Structure 1
Amino acid sequence: MTAQFCPTKIEKMLLTTDGSEFSEGAVREAIKLAKTCSSKLFALSVVETNPEYEAVAPQVVEKAEKETRKILESVKDRASKEGVDCEIIARHGESPYEYIVEEAEKAQANMIIMGRRGRKGLKRLMMGSETARVIGHAKCNVLIVPRAASVDFKRIVVATDGSKYSDAAVSEAVSISKRCGSSLFAISVVPSETESPFDIVHMEMHKDIISEKESKMAECLVKDIKDLAEKEGVGTQGFVYSGKPYESIISMAKEKHADLIVVGSHGRTGLAKLLMGSVTERVIGLAECAVLVVKAA
């Protein structure tokens, strides 16, 4: 089922695609979202190359650019059939993320929509350097869509750690839920080696597992979300987990059959500050559903 209401203010969105099966989810959901929101869609594909390679094998680069044009024209045709205004953009160069960020700013896009490459094992913990860089440098929100994911804005998980970055994610999640009539599930995770989910109503029985101070803090964070959501007429369930944050968020999303996880970005730039320690990165790498990364103002 497609969302009946536009989930958030999206006048313009930038879709990135390479024509692979891993981009299909992003293409499909971008067109669907653009149709629902009456948004203009910009479809971008970047041929990764460098000056030395272009000089040695210009015919190969030219062939790649022609293939890229075909991919983009196909996206435009699909969008047109749905009544979506789509403008295509082809670029080539050494750093795809720079072109993605540049084109998003040029288009004044409210959102960037990207696919996620299929990975196994430890590699799934890494979202990919280009995705990390886009999230680090982009000024707008970024939606990451796995190939099989459908974003219907019906069941949304939002994670909070009490920072201003997660506050922005909470605000966006509540706003989307209000517009779309979504079921909202709020989670705060107390880091530990074991993972045990408890409804906040029953937290008092489990003080022996996680420290009282940390559990109280997490409990308050979730209660704040519930209070905020209820003021907006959004029914919300709140949970505190003990465990590895990214595992807990993924676990709850599966349990609640979420079609979207909303998280904040800690405003970092460059790949060096977005490595394996990033909860957001691991959630993106492992989630079966789409992940919306909200940028704090």
Structure 2
Amino acid sequence: MADSQLSPIARFENILLATDGSEYSAGAERVAIEFCKVHQAHLHILSATTTPDDAGWMGAQADQDAENSLDENLKRLHKAAEEAGVECTTQVRSGSDPYEVIVDLANSLTVDMIIMGRRGRRGLARLMMGDATAKVIGYAPCAVLVVPETQSMWSSIMIATDGSRYSDMAAVTAAELAKSENLLLNVLSVKVPSHSDRRQNEAQPIVDRVLGFLEEQGIQARGVVEEGPADEIIVEVAKEKNSDLIVLGNFGRTGIGRVLFGSKDERVINSTDASVLIVRGGG
């Protein structure tokens, strides 16, 4: 693990919770307040709405009712945050697409992490990740934590690493979380059958390298190497180890400015009951 990837970057002082006030955001709302309490972070709460071209087929009254509902939810969350001793600000913002509103605010506030639900009101399948969540992960300038509706703050963390610089960034972040929260950290590397023998043989050294780094940081950790499809193994091992937070590294920026969001990561998010933290790599 290169020294350049081990700088103290994994600080969480400024957190953005994106919520649409639905039951699908309940887990994200819970975790955001708990996380900010543990890390003494400032919490920004945003409800992003779509700007209508006109009053819409449901009429202006329906739009007003929806806005009132969002306002009531934000007041409830602000009170809950205050009771937990968390500094909190709330706002409703409109835009052509909710994900753009979320990403724009994350940029302007220079947040360290965005927390949101796996899907919103418009999602079609109960377990499938919503379009807005996928787009936020793809374009966000920071880490994105995706929280299923039934989840609360985690008690065990797992980092899945392939030895890339993106995984190294994720390992540093997972280490910071495990250290500050005094939690066990599981380190997984997967031997993917379709990969070359050379790449498969790198799995154990990759785990050992991360374990060495964690030992230097005084973090309790366990390593595991398994063979199979990466997304399936990640979900299975997290369940076996009772890890309710999975940390993954995202790719860097492409030439057109979009951050690639891997299909493996999407399959993990769609298949697990755990929260998933996608850490931005260098760009």
TM-score (norm 1): 0.82
Alignment of 1:80-159 (within 5 A): 80-117=82-119, 126-152=128-154, 154-159=155-160
Which of 183, 199, 207 aligns to 1:222? It is 207
| Cα distance change, pair 268–251 in 1 and its aligned pair in 2 (3 A) | farther
Contact 2:170 2:247 in 1 (8 A): yes
> 1:215-294, aligned counterparts within 5 Å?
215-267=200-252, 274=261, 278-294=263-279
Q: 2 CA distance for matches of 1:58 and 1:123?
A: 29
Unpaired runs of at least 5, structure 1: 1-7, 194-209
Cα distance, 1:219–1:124 mapped onto 2, change above 3 Å: farther
Letter of the 2:78 counterpart: K
Number of residues paired by the alignment? 269
- Kept in 1, the 8 Å contact 2:12–2:39? The answer is yes
Partner SS state of residue 51, structure 1: coil
- Does the CA contact (< 8 Å) of 1:215 and 1:240 recur in 2? no
- Alpha-carbon distance, 1:61 to partner: 2.1
Distance 2:212 2:64 in 1: 57
CA distance in 1, matches of 2:102, 2:281: 19
The CA distance in 2 between the partners of 1:63 and 1:123, in whole Å, is 26
Q: Deviations over 1:35-92 (max 9, x none)?
A: 2222221111112343145598333322222221111111112112222221111012
Which residues of structure 2 form unaligned runs of 5+? 1-9
C-alpha displacement of 1:131: 0.9
Secondary structure (helix, strand or coil) at the match of 2:91 reads strand
Structure 1, 56-65 or 38-47: larger mean CA deviation? 56-65
Cross-structure match for 1:178: 179
Residue 160 of structure 1 deviates from its aligned partner by 0.9
Q: Which amino acid aligns with 1:174?
A: A
| CA apart distance, 1:258 | 0.5
CA drift of 1:268 comes to 5.2
- Cα pair distance change 1:236/1:17, threshold 3 Å: same
Q: Percent identity?
A: 41
Runs of 4+ off more than 6 Å: 269-272
Write the distance in 2 (CA, Å) between the matches of 1:245 and 1:271: 24
Tell me which amino acid in the other structure corresponds to 1:173: A
**Superposed displacement of residue 17, structure 1:** 0.9
2:62 to 60, 64, 78: 60
2:38 corresponds in structure 1 to 36
